[in-house]
Chain A
Amino acid sequence: DIQMTQSPSSLSASVGDRVTIACQASQNISNHLIWHQQKPGKAPELLIYDASNLETGVPSRFGGRGSGTYFIFTISSLQPEDIATYYCQQYDDLPETFGQGTKVEIK
């Protein structure tokens, strides 16, 4: 199985800060990576697919890049409504696998 390692596991930042989350795959997954956002008590939402493509309706402050084994997710200017846990997911090979999640809080 492909292991997905996210870092950090949690972070605290101020409103307006730039936030960066890393996701490393244990083997090459090309650009077959999704980023999801899960707000407390809610179902996850798909934010970014194919590593860098923003889902329709997702604010432009969210972004993703990378290919192969290393990927980055960014929030260019953290907003209060961005408080959530963020997960990366690879769909290059079965079983599909998730990172352990990064909990983002407001400082």
Chain B
Amino acid sequence: QMQLVQSGAEVKKPGSSVKVSCKASGGTFSEYTLSWVRQAPGQGLEWMGGIIPIFRRSYYAQKFQGRVTITADTSSNTAFMELSSLRSEDTAVYYCTSLMAGWGQGTLVTVSS
């Protein structure tokens, strides 16, 4: 059973960038989309974008266009989500998720001066 394991919590300053990783263990990337979803404190789930790893083709929600970059390294079965120009409203738990593997455990990103 494939599992998604994410990198650890981050604390960032406003205006900086954060890069979160998501490694697939127990399997390999496939043609299924791997998505990034975030959840602000007390809020619902928000889709940010996704990637089809074997094609390295990325898709982004309009809201995050220009600020988010999603990439994948098929040799290490790892996907990455980089969010730039961070502001306090970006404080949230960031998840990777795929139909093939379910959800990662989440990565808390705190943006604070």
State yes or no: do A and B come from one complex. Answer: yes
Interface residue SS majority, chain A: loop
Query: Could you tell me if A46 and B47 are in contact, using CB atoms closer than 8 angstroms?
Result: no
- In the bound complex, how far is the Cα of B71 from the Cα of A17, in angstroms? 45
Query: Could you tell me if B105 and A43 are in contact, using CB atoms closer than 8 angstroms?
Result: yes
* B interface residues, tally (CB under 8 Å): 21
Query: Could you tell me if B45 and A87 are in contact, using CB atoms closer than 8 angstroms?
Result: yes
A10 CB to closest chain B CB (Å) equals: 13
B29 at the interface (CB under 8 A from A): no
Those of A34-61 within 8 Å (CB) of chain B: 34, 36, 38, 43-46, 49, 55-56
Residue of A34, A44, A55, A56 most packed against chain B (CB within 10 A): A44
Q: What 1/0 mask marks residues of chain A from 90 to 107 whose CB sits below 8 Å from any chain B CB?
A: 010011111111000000
Q: What 1/0 mask marks residues of chain B from 88 to 113 whose CB sits below 8 Å from any chain A CB?
A: 00000001010100111110000000
Query: Could you tell me if A96 and B50 are in contact, using CB atoms closer than 8 angstroms?
Result: yes
Query: Could you tell me if B103 and A49 are in contact, using CB atoms closer than 8 angstroms?
Result: no
Query: Could you tell me if A46 and B102 are in contact, using CB atoms closer than 8 angstroms?
Result: yes
Known A89-B45, A95-B47, A100-B44: A43·B61 in contact at CB below 8 Å: no
Contact partner, B103, options A1, A44, A98, A101, Cβ 8 Å? A44
Contact partner, A43, options B33, B46, B50, B104, Cβ 8 Å? B104
Residues of A within 8 A of B103 (CB): 36, 43-46
Residues of B within 8 A of A95 (CB): 47, 49, 59, 61-62
- In the bound complex, how far is the Cα of B59 from the Cα of A87, in angstroms? 22
B78 at the interface (CB under 8 A from A): no
The residues of B with any CB-CB pair to A shorter than 8 Å are 1, 33, 35, 37, 44-47, 49-50, 59, 61-62, 95, 97, 99, 102-106
Give me 15 A-to-B residue pairs in the complex whose CB atoms sit less than 8 angstroms apart, sorted by A's number: A1-B62, A36-B45, A36-B103, A43-B105, A43-B106, A45-B103, A46-B97, A46-B99, A46-B103, A91-B33, A95-B49, A95-B62, A98-B44, A99-B44, A100-B44
